[in-house]
Amino acid sequence: MPDRATIEQARPNEAARAQLERNLLATVKELHDVKAALDEHSIVAITDPAGRITYVNDKFCAISQFSREELLGQDHRIINSGTHSPAFFRHLWSTIGRGQVWQGEIRNRAKNGSFYWVETTIYPFLDDAGKPRQYVVIRTDITQRKADVAELHRIAAELDEKNKELEAIVYTVSHDLRSPLVNVQGFGQQLTRACEAIHAAVAAEGGGPVPAERLRQPVDVAIPQALRFINAGVSKMETLLAGLLRYSRLGRVALTIRPLNVNGLLTEILAAMKFQLDETGAEVRVEPLPTCLADHIQTGQVFANLLDNAVKYREPTRPLRIVVRGRIHDGHAVYTVADNGLGIAPEHQAKVFEIFHRLNPDANTGEGLGLTIAQRVLERQQGKIWVETTPGGGSTFSVSLPAIDPPAPSP
């Protein structure tokens, strides 16, 4: 039997133990609550030191689309997206293997092949020897944020592109519009001088008849020349301003993107150009073309412009031959308009798309906007235009537009 003293001693122990138990229960409850709060907010998994999954919460199952049974016992390779390098994971493992916390962004792959981004914290639980005994992995879904950032970059790049375009326009306008103005101003001064010469000749005769000889130069030469350049300068400025307005309106025209039968489109264009083509003895061959997704009117203008250029810049010593071909490449319908005309020297090929640039200003009329507008029109429809030299001479313009059935991106 315990003596009295022992009993006296045990009573406080009982009390302490009861207190301890209450504390323990409270702590467990608190831990439980913290975990519940964590589960409510985060994607949580626990793995053993080898990385095998021993616990996942509901959010993990929801985002990964795997059931708990499919996940337990696996390692995280089951959701590896192949985005990150082996070095990335080596660094991760060496960090947590040393018992340190790892944090970073990881792109994972769900069961159906879709991707999601998670901001990840891996917290090693250490044993008495300081070795990791398990890892607690807490993640937050940042897929939307990643998409937003990517969208932001895309918009910034687009804005940058637009700014460059604007700069190029300002540059061109400052030169090309000033150029006719120089003539208007300069020949205005010549007119003033010619008038002064006439005035002086008239004044010298004091009201009597003025000898025709003294008036001949200003009246026959200086004044008509000045007027010719002034009028040409003014009409050049008018053309440039009209072109600029047309170009600036392009960005505001609403597009109707729908499947476009390009063979049908070319038949329409060639019918409208029949007179022009017959007159030059041109021969146009159109091969079967793929369908694309584009605006009928705007795309029609692009092809009309390309055919018109082929006629304009034909080689006069041989009959013009134009071949239109098409193929599907990388989700895009690529059309080529190849001619046997004058061709474009390689160093000028990039310049032909510049606003108001004209390769042969003397020989041909036009404001130098056709290809600039074609490029703009195609860019608005996720298309492109470029030029190469046709084998054997001439130019080949290529137009790419989204194909009717772009293959789904591979997972």
Could you list the residues that contact other proteins (CB under 8 A)?
171, 174-176, 178-179, 181-183, 185-187, 190, 193, 225, 229, 232-233, 348, 358-361
Q: Which is nearer to other proteins, 176 or 295 (CB)?
A: 176
The widest CA-to-CA distance across the chain, in whole angstroms, is: 161
Cβ distance to other proteins smaller for residue 251 or 361: 361
> Residue 199 Cβ, how far from other proteins at the closest point, in Å?
17
Structure tokens at 119: 């901001």
In whole angstroms, give the CA distance from residue 368 to residue 236. Answer: 12
Whether 339 contacts 395, CB under 8 Å: yes
Q: Least separation, in Å, of the C-beta of 260 and other proteins?
A: 35
Closer residue to other proteins, CB minimum distance, 143 or 225: 225
Cα–Cα distance for residue pair 71/206, rounded to 1 Å: 113
Nearer to other proteins, 233 or 326 (CB): 233
Distance of alpha carbon 231 from alpha carbon 220, whole angstroms: 17
CB of residue 37 vs other proteins: minimum separation in angstroms? 59
Tell me if 312 sits within 8 A of 327, measured CB to CB: no
Rank residues 115 and 353 by Cβ distance to other proteins and give the closer one: 353
* Polymer length in residues for the chain: 411
- Rounded CA-CA distance 277/324 in Å is 15
Nearest approach, Cβ of residue 159 and other proteins (Å)? 21
The shares of helix, strand and coil residues in the chain, as percent rounded to the nearest 5, are 55, 20, 25
- Using alpha carbons, select from 360, 282, 270, 274 the residue that is nearest to residue 318: 282
Choice between 40 and 160, CB closer to other proteins: 160
Nearest approach in angstroms of CB 171 to other proteins is 6
Shortest distance, position 183 Cβ to other proteins, whole Å: 4
Whole-angstrom distance, CA of residue 296 vs CA of residue 302: 10
Q: d(Cα 145, Cα 182) in Å, to the nearest integer?
A: 54
Helix 223-250 and helix 178-204, axial crossing angle in degrees, nearest 10: 160
Question: Quick one: 215 or 227, whose CB is closer to other proteins?
Answer: 227
The pair of structure tokens assigned to 146 is 């990643």
Strands (E), 96-168: 102-109, 115-126, 132-141
| Nearest CB to other proteins, comparing residues 178 and 246 | 178
CA nearest to 143, candidates 263, 30, 89, 62: 62
Least Å distance, CB 249 to other proteins, is: 25
Least distance (Å) between residue 190 CB and other proteins: 7
Minimum CB–partner distance for residue 163 and other proteins (Å): 15
CA distance 223 to 235: 18
Nearer to other proteins, 10 or 182 (CB): 182
**Please, which residue, 54 or 235, has the CB nearer to other proteins?**
235
Q: Are strands 115-126 and 257-260 parallel, antiparallel or unpaired?
A: unpaired
Q: How far is the CB of 321 from other proteins (least distance, A)?
A: 26
What would the 3-class secondary structure string for 226-274 be? HHHHHHHHHHHHHHHHHHHHHHHHHCCCCCCEEEECHHHHHHHHHHHCH
